[in-house]
Chains A and B, each alone.
Chain A
Amino acid sequence: EVQLVQSGAEVKKPGATVKISCEVSGYPLTDYYLHWVQQAPGKGLEWMGLVDPEDGEPMYAEKFLGRVTIVADTSTDTAYMDLSSLRSEDTAVYYCATSPKIHPVFDHWGQGTLVTVSS
């Protein structure tokens, strides 16, 4: 069974950096892209970026360029997302999701991690 398990909720101050993890089990991570998706309270889904675990190459959405870093550790089948220079608008649930490289659909999702940015 495929599972994506994310780290727990975080509370951060404005200007800080948050790091969220996503551990994947059930299939070889190198066959997939690992994505991160932001969902602010009561709002829609926003794709932040992805990493190719096979070569570590990331791709970021323009909105988050310069503030987001996505990496994957194939030795532990875990991906990480750092979001820096946090502001109140970054308060959101962050989801990791996988998509097969040959077919870019988000087929499996983590449970979500709530990040609250508050002074």
Chain B
Amino acid sequence: DIQMTQSPSSLSASVGDRVTITCQASQDISNYLNWYQQKPGKAPKLLIYDASNLETGVPSRFSGGGSGTDFTFTISSLQPEDIATYYCQQYDNLLSFTFGPGTKVDIK
């Protein structure tokens, strides 16, 4: 099974800061990597698909990159409404899906 790691597990930043989260896969997953935002008590929401594509309606301050085993997720200018936990998620050709452990983002 493919394992996913994320770092950091949590971070605190100021409004307007650039925030970057990394996600690493235990083997090459090409660009089969998505990013989700989950606010407390809510279902997750898709932000980025196929590593770098912004889902329709998602603000452009969110972006993603990477391929193979190493991926990044960036918020270019942190806003108060971005307080949430962010998860990466991989899928493979055998229809197996794995989430990363999550990164909790807070305002300093």
Contacts and interface: CB of A to CB of B under 8 A. Distances in A.
Interface stretch (A42-50, A69-77, A82-90): A42-50
- Chain B, interface residues (CB within 8 Å), range: 20 to 34
Given A45-B102, A62-B1, A112-B43, A106 B96 contact: no
A104 interface: yes
A109 interface: yes
Contact of A46 (B1, B38, B99): B99
Contact of A47 (B46, B98, B101, B102): B98
A59 interface: yes
Interface stretch (B59-67, B69-77, B87-95): B87-95
Nearest to A95: B43
A40 to B, nearest CB: 12
B68 interface: no
Contacts of B1: 62
Contacts of B52: none
B96 A45 contact: no
Given A50-B95, A104-B91, A105-B49, A44 B43 contact: no
Nearest to B32: A104
B58 to A, nearest CB: 12
Given A45-B102, A61-B96, A105 B34 contact: yes
B87 A45 contact: yes
Interface of B: 1, 32, 34, 36, 38, 43-46, 49, 55, 85, 87, 89, 91, 95-102
